[in-house]
Amino acid sequence: MKTTNIMIVGVGGQGTLLASRILGNAVIGEGYDVKLSEVHGMSQRGGSVVTYVKFGEKVYSPIIGQGEADIVLAFELLEACRALPNLRPGGRIIVNAQSIDPMPVITGAAQYPESIVEKLREKAAVTAIDALALAKEAGNSRAVNVVLIGLMAKNTDIPYERWIDTIKTTVPPKFLDVNLKAFDLGYRCDN
């Protein structure tokens, strides 16, 4: 069996690590071998962050190379562009249609590309949603990560109940209600 490769990308501070933990725990619940690779430290300070999640019968390397990702789950538009070379032919990009200017754009040294979703659609299958709006609807703008996990969950073979059980065991009790709501908003999103 081929491994399933999911790449989660975003901006440091957006909560990509929690998203990868929910995904990882859901996957082991299904009895797969799994590896996740995170990068901590400096890049968490508002830089580009990348987490790889790989599962299947047996996983060796924890990283996902160019043309190897089945799904790119992007928390931010520019980071989706950066991860595009990692997507395999026929893979899908799931992207939060939010833009966060990197410092070179803020200082005027670089330009933020325009019409990113349209440009990505020319290269790959793309699902784009306003996860921030859904997170706010769920009750906390920080729940963007769980909205996106909900949206992605539909693209996997892992059953709905497994996701719910995993969120219950992974997320702190205080934030459980918001996160369950956020997951459902993502999962039931029509895009």
Partner 1 sequence: MAKLMIGNAAVAQGAYEAGVRVVSSYPGTPSTEITESVVQYPEVYVEWAPNEKVACEVAIGASMAGARSMTCCKHVGLNVMADPVFTVSYIGVNGGMVICVADDPGMHSSQNEQDSRHYAKAAKVAMLEPSDSAECRAFTKAAFELSERFDVPFVIRLSTRVSHSQSLVETAPRENVPLKPYEKNVAKNVMMPAMAIKRHVVVEERAKKLVEFAETTDLNRVEDNGSRIGVITSGISYMYAREALGDSVNYLKLGMAYPMPEKKIRDFAVKCEKVFVIEELDPFIEEHCKALGLEVIGKDAFTMLGEYTPAMIAKAVMGLEPAAPAQLGEDIPVRPPVMCPGCPHRGTFYVLKKLGLTVSGDIGCYTLGAAQPLASVDSTICMGASVSAALGMAKARGPEFSKKLVSVIGDSTFIHSGITALIDIVYNKGTNTVIILDNSITGMTGHQDNPTTGKTIRGEATRQVDLEQLCHAVGVDHVVVADPFDVKNFERIVREEVERDEPSVIIAQRPCALLKYVKYSGHCVVTDRCKKCRMCMKLGCPAISVKDGAVRIDPNQCNGCGLCVNVCPFGAIEKEAEA
Query: Apex CA 76: angle with CA 174 and CA 106, to 5°?
Result: 110
| Whole-angstrom Cα Rg for the chain | 16
Write the CB contacts of 3 (distance below 8 Å, at least 6 apart in sequence): 54, 55, 56, 57, 59
Considering the complex, state which of residue 79 and residue 184 has its C-beta at the smaller distance from partner 1.
79
CB of 177 to partner 1, least distance (A): 21
Considering the complex, state which of residue 47 and residue 162 has its C-beta at the smaller distance from partner 1.
47
- Indicate left, alpha or beta for 66 from its phi (over 0: left) and psi (-120 to 50: alpha): beta
CB of 166 to partner 1, least distance (A): 11
Considering the complex, state which of residue 12 and residue 162 has its C-beta at the smaller distance from partner 1.
12
Considering the complex, state which of residue 115 and residue 173 has its C-beta at the smaller distance from partner 1.
115
CB of 62 to partner 1, least distance (A): 4
Considering the complex, state which of residue 111 and residue 161 has its C-beta at the smaller distance from partner 1.
111
Would you say 88 and 54 are in contact if contact means Cβ atoms under 8 Å apart?
no
- Positions touching partner 1 (CB under 8 A) are 11-13, 24-25, 28, 33-48, 59-63, 65-67, 78-79, 81-82, 84-87, 89, 100-113, 119-120, 123-124, 132, 141
Would you say 29 and 162 are in contact if contact means Cβ atoms under 8 Å apart?
yes
CB of 160 to partner 1, least distance (A): 21
CB of 120 to partner 1, least distance (A): 8
Distance, CA of 108 to CA of 77 (rounded, Å)? 19
